[in-house]
Structure 1
C-alpha cells in the first residue's frame, strides 16, 4: 500500500503515507515538541506503550548513528511526522531515519497534518490510536481503535527494565574522543534502580565519579543495601507509576537509609513511597522546551520532559518540600526532604536530547552523598 492511516480511539482519521516499516501498530498517541533528538526519543524506554508525534514539521535531516541511542532498543510503539527529510546530512550519520525505522520494524506515518493532530490531542487528551499501512478498511480500524486502552493500570516498567544486575562503565561523549571510560578510582558507589534508564543518565553518574551498579526494578531493598551504596538513584521509565506499586514499596524501605535521587518516573515512585498520590495529565509533557522554576532561587530552567502523570501536591507529607514547578500548568517538578536526605525532579537533567541547564542536579547528588564532583 502507498496509503497509511492513523485512526484515533475517538474516530478521528488521518490519511498519509507509510514511514519506516510497513505494518500495523497501536499505542497511546502523544506529541513531542523537540526540534531534534528523534533517535534519542525513539530509544527512550519512557515511550513504551506510546506512539510519538513530532510537532517539528521536518524530521530526519541529519540521519541516525550508532552513538545517539539511549537504550538497547527502540521502545516507542510508532512514529508520526509531517515529513521525513529526503536528505540526511551529517558527518556522524550512518543511515537515514526511514531505514532505521525499517531495520527496527517500527511502523510510522508521514504526510499528515501534525498541527491538527496536536491540537486534537490538546483538546481531547492523549488517547490510543492505530497506525496501519496494511489495511484500508477504515471502519474496521475505527472499531478496533475504539476498543484500545491507554497506559492506566499497566505495568510497563516490567517490560523495559533489565533482566539482571550489571555495571555501567561509560562516561559522557567528547568530540574526537567518543565516550569517556569510568574513573579507575570512583568517589562514590551508586545503585541505580532501572525503571527504564536512559544511558546518558548513567553516563552523568559516572561523570561525577560514581561506580554505577544497575539493578532490575524488582530488586529488593535487601539486595540493594547489600551492595553498600553511598547513594541510590531512581531512573526514568514509562507509564503509570501506580501500576508498579512493588517499586514504591521497595523505595519506602530505602528512604532514610541512603541518599536518594530520582528522575521522572523515579520522582513519581519516590513520591508514592513517601505516601503521596499521582494522577494522569490531560496530554502530558513531552519535549525539550518545558519551563520550570526553582522556587528557592526564582530561576527558570528550560527542560526536557517525557511523562503523562504528575504528583499530587496536596498529598505530600509535611517534611517534603516542593522545590520546582512547571510554569505552564503549575504541576510539581521537584521535591526534597532534608530530613530523609532525598530529592527528585520530574524532568530530565541529563538532556539527550534537550537543554543542559539542569546538569547541576547530578552535582547536588554528589554533595548529598558527602562529596563534591
Structure 2
C-alpha cells in the first residue's frame, strides 16, 4: 500500500531494526511455517540495500520519511564460525559495523544506518561475560551501544515458534543476574524482550539494578496469536498494570512498536495484507497511549522493528501510523518520541550534525 507521507520533515531515528541472511536456515523449518517465519520469509535476505529500499533513502521517487539514522538490534546473524561459543556474537557486530561504515561514507546521502549497534552476549556466563563485552566494544569501533539477551518464553512452544529458545525465568536466574551485574559495569544499554505474561521479570530486574539503563522492547509484546488468539481484550488490563509498574522504575525506557509482529495479532493476517495507517493506528492506540502516559514523552521512542513488522505494514505506512498516534503531541514531544530520545538512549546524537547540540 502506498500512502502520502505525513509530516515529511519530522526527523526520525529508528532505534530497532535487523539485518540478516536467513536463506540457508528457512528450508530446515517445517511447513506450514509458523506465522513469524512467514512474516520474514519475504525478507530472508535483509541487507543494507533492502533496508535502504524500505526506508526510501536515496530514491527520489519513493515516498519516504526523514530517517536520519538507525540502530541495529541483534538477531543472531553472521556469527563467527571460527570462534569459541561465547565469542561467536562478535561476528555480528563486525558485520554491522561494516554496514555502518558503508553508510557513513556519504555515498548514500546524509542517512546513517546502524549508527548505533546493539549486539548479544550470553549473560548466563556470569563474570566470564566481561571479555565478551570488551570484544564487542572493540568490534563496534565506537558504535557499540549495548546488548540484548532476549528472555521471551512461553510454555507452549508454538507461540514463539522454532527460532526462539529462551529458558523460563531467564532474567531471574542466578547465572543471568551474575552476568548482568558484570555487564552493568560498562555503562551500556540493555534491551529486554519478553512476552506480556513475563513483564514481571523485567520489573524485578529493573528494581534489582536501578542504575542500569534498560529498554523494554515492543511495548512488552501483548499476545494475540496461537493459544492467545482473541484474548487481547481480556489481558489488556493485566498488561497495562504491568506497564505502569515498570514505568515507575526511572531506569527503564520503552520502545513504541513491534505491535505489527505476528505474535501480537494486530493485524491478525499478514504478511503485508495492505492495512492502512489509520487502521493500524486504531488497533494500536490503546497500547501506544498507555505506554506514553506511563513513561512520558522522555522515556519512549517509536521503532520500526523491521523487517519483522512487515507482517503488518510497509515501512512508510508503519511510520504514518505512528505519526497519526502522535498527532496530539506538541512539536517538542514529537521530536523526542521520533528522534531525540532514541539518539540519547543509544548515544549517537554526536554523530548526527542536526542533533549535535543534544546534552
Question: TM-score when scaled to structure 2?
Answer: 0.33
The structure with more strand, counted as a fraction of residues = 1
The structure with more helix, counted as a fraction of residues = 2
Question: TM-score when scaled to structure 1?
Answer: 0.32
